[in-house]
C-alpha cells in the first residue's frame, strides 16, 4: 500500500537542491559593470531626520540643479501624452509631438552610459523581416508589413504590447517599392501596392484593424511609380504622396485621389515632415540621375503648392528627419565629399525659416532616429566615417535640449534593417532586421523583436506561455495606470502643509503628494485631490500630510503614470520660497 505523501516536504527537498555559491566570475563581472555604471540620481537629505528650513531650501536648490540635469538624463520632467501618430517611416519621418523644449546646446565630448534604459526580448514574429514598414495603431498595437528578405513574399502581422505576442493578419497585395505604412486619422492604414511584378504601376490599399482586412481604395492620379516617394498624413486627415513624378492627395473620407502641386525640385528618397502649423517640409533626397540635393521646400495644404526655402547646409544621404518637441525639425545624415564621409546634423526652424547646424560628434553617425516621449532620440545604426564601426547592436540617446549623447544598453541583437516604433507605454519596439555573424559571413533576416524600455516606463507584459499554462501573466511590477493611483480616507491627525506655486507655463500644472515608487510615482501619501494650478497663476497649495513620518513623501509636478516627474521632498518644516513651473513645463524652486 502506498503511504500518503507529504508533497510540501518533497517540494522543499526538491528546492533544496541547486546552486548555493555565486561564482567569482559573476561577482567580477558585476563589479566591472558597476564601475562603468552611474547610480540613479535622487535628491534627498537621507541622513537628516528632520530638515531645517535652510537645509530644505538648499536641498531644493540642489533639486533644481539635479532636475535640470540628472533627472532629465534619466527621463524625468513632464512628458507629453504620446500622440496617436505612427513612429518613424522608413524615410525617417517622425510624427509630431507637442511640448516645446529648450534650444540645442553644445554636445558632450563622448556619451555617458544610460543609467537605466534596458533592452529586453519580446515575442518573436512569425516571419523574418528586414527593411519592412511598421506603424502603431490607435489601440497601441503595431502593424508590420513587409517582405521576408529570403522569400520576398509580402505578409503582415500584429504585435500586441499587452501580451508581448505577434499574430498573423491579412496581407496586402504586393507592396510597392519603398511604400511606407501611413496611419490615417480614422485608425486605418494606407499603403501603396504594386500592380505588376516590376512595381512600375501602383495602386493603394487600406487596412482596417477592426475587420483585419485590406481593401483597394481609389484610383491613384499617377500610377507610374519611380520609388522613394513619401506619404505624409496631414492635419486635416488627407495624405500627401510626393516624389519624383509629382504629388497627389488621398482623402480617406471619400477614398479618392486628387492631383496637387508638384515639388519645385522633384526628388525621391527625401524626407517629408508634418510641421505643427500643418505645412510639410520636404528636405534633401536625390534628383533624377541619383544626384544628392540639399534643396528643401514647404508644401501648404491650403494652397496645394510648394514654396522654396533656404537650402540645407549640406546634402544628406538617406537622411532622417525628426520633428522635435520645440517644433523644429532635426535632419541628419551622411554626406559624401570625394572620399571623405561626414555625418552632419542640422535643424530647420519653421518660424525663422532657417537651417542651423548642430555640433555633432566627429566620425560617428546614425541611420535611424526614434523620438521618445521625453524629447530624446533613440538612435541606432551607428557608423564610423573611417571604418570604425561600432557593433550593430549599439544604440545611443541624443538629447536635443542639451546636445548630450548617452550610450544605451546593447540591443541584444543587430538592429540593421529593424523597424523602430514608439509604443504607448514609452517603450520602443525594434522588430526584425538582419542578423550578421560578428565574424563575418552571410546576414540573414530575423524574426526576433526586442523592446527598449526607458527608465520609468511600464515594463511590458510577459509573453504568454504555451498551454496548459495560463494565457497571460500579470506585469511583474505594479505600476499605477491612472491618477490618482489610489484614494483612501483622510487619515486622522493629518496636518496641513502649504507651499506657494507659480505656474509660468501655458498649461495647467498638476501637483500630487505621493511616495517615490520603484518605477516612478508611488502611492499617495494621504487622501488628496490633485492640485491644479492654472496657467499663469500663482497660488498657495495646501497638502494634507499623513500623521506618519513625512520622509518619503514628495511633491510631484505634472507626473505621467510610470514616469519620473519633477519632485520635491516634503518636510515637517514650513517651506520658504516657492515652486514654479517654467514656460517649458519644467518645475523649479525659487528661494526667498
Name the residues that contact another protein, by CB under 8 A.
1-3, 5, 7-23, 26-27, 29-31, 33-35, 37-42, 46, 115-116, 120-122, 164, 412, 459, 462-463, 465-466, 468-470, 473-474, 476-478, 516, 518, 551-552
Nearer residue to another protein within complex by CB, 46 or 442:
46
Of 456, 349, 377, give the one whose Cα is nearest residue 103.
349
DSSP category for residue 13: H
Q: Please count the CA atoms within 13 angstroms of the CA of 431 that sit on its side-chain side.
A: 34
CB of 44 to another protein, least distance (A): 8
Nearer residue to another protein within complex by CB, 30 or 223:
30
Nearer residue to another protein within complex by CB, 9 or 442:
9
DSSP category for residue 523: E
Nearer residue to another protein within complex by CB, 27 or 288:
27
Nearer residue to another protein within complex by CB, 275 or 451:
451
CB of 407 to another protein, least distance (A): 14
Give the count of beta carbons closer than 10 Å to the beta carbon of residue 83.
14
Of 69, 88, 587, 79, give the one whose Cα is nearest residue 373.
79
Is the Cβ–Cβ distance between 203 and 157 less than 8 Å?
A: no
Nearer residue to another protein within complex by CB, 33 or 170:
33
Nearer residue to another protein within complex by CB, 46 or 290:
46
CB of 160 to another protein, least distance (A): 15
CB of 128 to another protein, least distance (A): 16
The dihedral region occupied by 63, where left means phi > 0, alpha psi between -120 and 50, and beta the remainder, is alpha
How far is residue 512 from each of residues 271, 521, 542, measured CA to CA in Å? 42, 9, 11
| Helix (H/G/I), strand (E/B), else coil: 14 | helix
| Helix (H/G/I), strand (E/B), else coil: 135 | strand
How far apart (Å, rounded) are the C-alpha atoms in residues 542 and 528? Answer: 10
CB of 8 to another protein, least distance (A): 7
How far apart (Å, rounded) are the C-alpha atoms in residues 475 and 161? Answer: 12
Q: Please count the CA atoms within 13 angstroms of the CA of 487 that sit on its side-chain side.
A: 7
CB of 67 to another protein, least distance (A): 15
How far apart (Å, rounded) are the C-alpha atoms in residues 232 and 217? Answer: 17
How far apart (Å, rounded) are the C-alpha atoms in residues 592 and 590? Answer: 7
Of 52, 54, 577, give the one whose Cα is nearest residue 587.
577
CB of 562 to another protein, least distance (A): 15
Nearer residue to another protein within complex by CB, 34 or 162:
34
Strands (E), 30-128: 93-94, 112-113, 118-121
CB of 118 to another protein, least distance (A): 8
Amino acid at each position: 500500500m502506498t503511504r500518503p505523501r507529504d508533497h510540501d516536504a518533497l517540494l522543499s527537498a526538491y528546492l533544496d537542491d541547486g546552486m548555493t555559491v555565486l561564482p567569482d566570475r559573476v561577482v567580477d563581472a558585476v563589479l566591472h559593470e558597476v564601475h562603468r555604471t552611474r547610480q540613479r540620481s535622487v535628491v534627498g537629505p537621507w541622513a537628516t531626520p528632520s530638515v531645517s528650513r535652510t537645509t530644505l531650501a538648499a536641498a531644493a536648490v540642489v533639486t533644481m540643479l539635479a532636475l535640470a540635469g540628472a533627472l532629465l538624463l534619466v527621463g524625468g520632467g513632464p512628458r507629453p501624452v504620446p500622440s496617436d501618430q505612427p513612429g518613424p517611416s522608413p524615410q525617417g519621418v517622425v510624427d509630431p509631438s507637442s511640448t516645446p523644449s529648450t534650444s540645442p546646446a553644445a554636445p558632450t565630448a563622448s556619451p555617458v552610459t544610460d543609467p537605466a534604459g534596458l533592452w529586453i526580448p519580446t515575442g518573436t514574429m512569425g516571419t523574418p523581416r528586414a527593411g519592412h514598414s511598421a506603424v502603431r495603431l490607435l489601440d497601441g498595437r503595431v502593424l508590420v508589413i513587409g517582405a521576408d528578405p529570403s522569400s520576398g513574399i509580402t505578409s503582415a502581422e500584429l504585435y500586441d504590447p499587452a501580451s508581448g505576442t505577434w499574430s498573423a493578419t491579412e496581407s496586402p497585395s504586393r507592396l510597392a517599392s519603398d511604400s511606407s505604412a501611413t496611419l490615417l486619422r480614422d485608425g486605418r492604414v494606407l499603403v501603396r501596392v504594386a500592380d505588376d511584378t516590376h512595381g512600375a504601376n501602383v495602386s493603394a490599399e487600406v487596412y482596417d484593424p477592426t475587420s483585419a482586412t485590406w481593401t483597394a481604395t481609389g484610383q491613384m492620379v499617377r500610377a507610374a511609380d519611380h520609388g522613394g516617394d513619401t506619404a505624409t498624413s496631414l492635419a486635416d486627415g488627407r495624405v500627401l504622396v510626393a516624389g519624383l513624378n509629382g504629388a497627389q492627395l488621398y482623402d480617406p473620407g471619400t477614398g479618392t485621389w486628387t492631383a496637387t502641386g508638384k515639388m519645385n525640385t522633384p526628388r525621391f528618397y527625401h524626407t517629408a515632415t508634418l510641421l505643427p502649423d500643418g505645412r510639410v517640409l520636404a528636405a534633401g533626397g536625390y534628383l533624377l540621375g541619383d544626384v544628392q540635393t540639399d534643396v528643401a521646400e514647404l508644401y501648404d495644404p491650403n494652397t496645394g503648392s510648394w514654396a522654396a526655402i533656404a537650402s540645407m547646409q549640406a546634402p544628406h544621404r538617406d537622411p532622417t528627419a525628426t520633428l522635435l518637441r520645440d517644433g523644429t525639425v532635426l535632419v541628419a545624415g551622411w554626406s559624401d565629399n570625394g572620399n571623405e564621409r561626414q555625418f552632419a546634423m542640422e535643424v530647420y526652424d519653421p518660424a525663422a525659416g532657417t537651417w542651423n547646424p548642430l555640433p555633432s560628434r566627429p566620425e560617428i553617425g546614425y541611420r535611424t532616429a526614434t523620438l521618445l516621449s521625453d524629447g530624446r532620440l533613440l538612435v541606432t545604426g551607428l557608423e564610423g566615417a573611417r571604418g570604425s564601426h561600432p557593433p550593430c547592436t549599439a544604440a545611443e540617446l541624443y538629447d536635443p535640449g542639451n546636445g548630450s549623447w548617452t550610450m544605451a544598453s546593447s540591443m541584444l541583437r543587430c538592429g540593421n534593417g529593424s523597424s523602430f516604433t514608439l509604443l504607448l507605454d514609452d517603450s520602443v519596439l525594434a522588430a526584425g532586421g538582419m542578423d550578421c555573424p560578428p565574424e563575418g559571413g552571410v546576414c540573414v533576416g530575423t524574426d526576433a523583436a526586442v523592446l527598449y524600455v526607458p527608465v520609468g516606463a511600464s515594463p511590458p507584459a510577459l509573453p504568454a506561455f504555451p498551454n496548459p499554462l495560463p494565457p497571460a501573466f500579470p506585469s511583474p511590477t505594479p505600476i499605477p495606470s491612472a491618477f490618482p493611483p489610489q484614494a483612501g480616507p483622510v487619515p486622522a491627525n493629518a496636518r496641513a502643509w502649504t507651499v506657494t506655486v507659480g505656474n509660468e507655463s501655458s498649461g495647467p500644472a498638476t501637483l500630487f503628494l505621493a511616495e517615490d515608487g520603484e518605477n516612478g510615482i508611488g502611492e499617495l501619501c494621504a487622501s488628496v485631490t490633485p492640485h491644479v494650478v492654472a496657467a499663469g497663476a500663482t497660488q498657495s497649495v495646501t497638502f494634507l500630510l499623513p500623521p506618519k513620518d513625512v520622509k518619503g513623501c514628495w511633491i510631484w509636478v505634472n507626473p505621467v503614470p510610470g514616469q519620473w516627474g519633477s519632485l520635491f521632498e516634503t518636510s515637517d518644516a514650513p517651506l520658504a520660497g516657492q515652486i514654479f513651473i517654467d514656460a517649458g513645463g519644467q518645475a523649479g524652486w525659487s528661494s526667498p
